[in-house]
């Protein structure tokens, strides 16, 4: 990434309370360069400029750390080019990340990124999330997604995979309140309650973001 994008990444992360060290910055830059390279051949993202990658992919992914803390097992459903899982793993290596996507090429890219960045606590799996519960019943402390599906579908996929004391986190934009209202009946039927909603602007922009945190009603 060019210097301006790197500066946007550092200042954006700082606004989230994350002081990136030299090694983390180098890894995130390496990831961005690999993403741009692969994106010429396979469709990983519509965002191709350095500033956009820094803010809308890297900083946006790191915003998850406003509510997620390691150590623990984290599942990223429908992770595409590795968002939010890969940037989160770079900054929070104590999280054991499993990242799944239904498209094999996207998982091939993530596997290459894992090798390149030498991530040791990250597993990328080519699988549909609906079939995961057989191998990972009640496993995860955190189940997250960004730009994946409506809230009800995501939560119904996540529930069998989550530990009883776990949390589901849906990364959303300005329509979070409407999405919660729409899902209300389904959430009740699934035995899930909204724990909290964290509202903020994507650092360096005026774009609204919301992290919807949900828990099992015990
Ligand atoms: C819009 S992309 C978002 C990618 C990434 N989370 C991001 O924010 O850039 C949605 C991704 O979900 C994946 N997907 C859709 N249905 C899925 C399913 N049932 N199980 C796993 N992945 C799925 C798609 O292949 C796609 O890569």
**Does residue 1 form part of some domain?**
no
- Give this complex's ipTM: 0.99
> Is the CB of residue 83 below 6 angstroms from any atom belonging to ligand 1?
yes
**Does residue 179 form part of some domain?**
yes
Residue 148 alpha carbon, nearest atom of ligand 1: 10
> Is the CB of residue 60 below 6 angstroms from any atom belonging to ligand 1?
no
- For residue 27, pLDDT over 90 is answered with yes
The number of folded domains in the chain is 1
Token reading at 74: 């984290």
Q: How many distinct helices (H) and strands (E) make up the chain?
A: 8, 7
**Mean of the pLDDT values across residues 47-54?**
97
CA of 22 to the centre of ligand 1 (A): 30
> Is the CB of residue 130 below 6 angstroms from any atom belonging to ligand 1?
yes
Tens of pLDDT, residues 98-147: 999 999 999 999 999 999 999 999 999 999 999 999 999 999 999 999 99
- As a whole number of angstroms, the distance between CA 53 and CA 114 comes to 18
210 is in an annotated binding site: no
- As a whole number of angstroms, the distance between CA 217 and CA 191 comes to 5
CA of 78 to the centre of ligand 1 (A): 3
Phi-psi region of 129 (alpha: psi -120 to 50; beta: other; left: phi over 0): alpha
pLDDT at 218: 86
- Looking at every residue in the chain, the average pLDDT score rounds to 97
Token reading at 77: 């459903």
146 is in an annotated binding site: yes
**Does residue 61 form part of some domain?**
no
Report whether 202 contacts 63 (CB < 8 A): yes
> Is the CB of residue 141 below 6 angstroms from any atom belonging to ligand 1?
no
Task: Name the residue range of residue 146's domain.
Answer: 66-216
Q: What is the CATH number of the domain that holds 165?
A: 3.40.50.150
């Amino acid at each position: 990434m060019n210097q301006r994008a790197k500066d946007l990444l550092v200042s954006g992360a700082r606004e989230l309370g994350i002081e990136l060290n030299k090694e983390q910055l180098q890894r995130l830059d390496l990831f961005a360069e690999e993403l741009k390279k692969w994106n010429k051949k396979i469709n990983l993202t519509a965002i191709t400029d350095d500033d956009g990658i820094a803010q809308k992919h890297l900083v946006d992914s790191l915003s998850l750390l406003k509510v997620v803390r390691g150590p623990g097992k984290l599942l990223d459903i429908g992770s595409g080019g590795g968002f939010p899982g890969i940037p989160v793993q770079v900054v929070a290596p104590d999280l054991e990340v499993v990242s799944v996507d239904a498209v094999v090429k996207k998982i091939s890219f993530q596997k290459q990124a894992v090798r390149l960045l030498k991530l040791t606590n990250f597993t990328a799996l080519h699988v549909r999330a609906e079939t995961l519960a057989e191998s990972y019943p009640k496993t995860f402390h955190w189940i997250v997604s960004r730009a994946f599906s409506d809230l009800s579908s995501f939560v119904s996929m996540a529930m069998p995979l989550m530990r009883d004391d776990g949390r589901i986190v849906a990364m959303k934009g300005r329509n979070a309140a409407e999405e919660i209202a729409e899902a209300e009946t389904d959430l009740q039927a699934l035995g899930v309650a909204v724990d909290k909603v964290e509202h903020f602007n994507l650092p360096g922009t005026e774009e609204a973001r919301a992290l919807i945190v949900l828990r099992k009603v015990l």
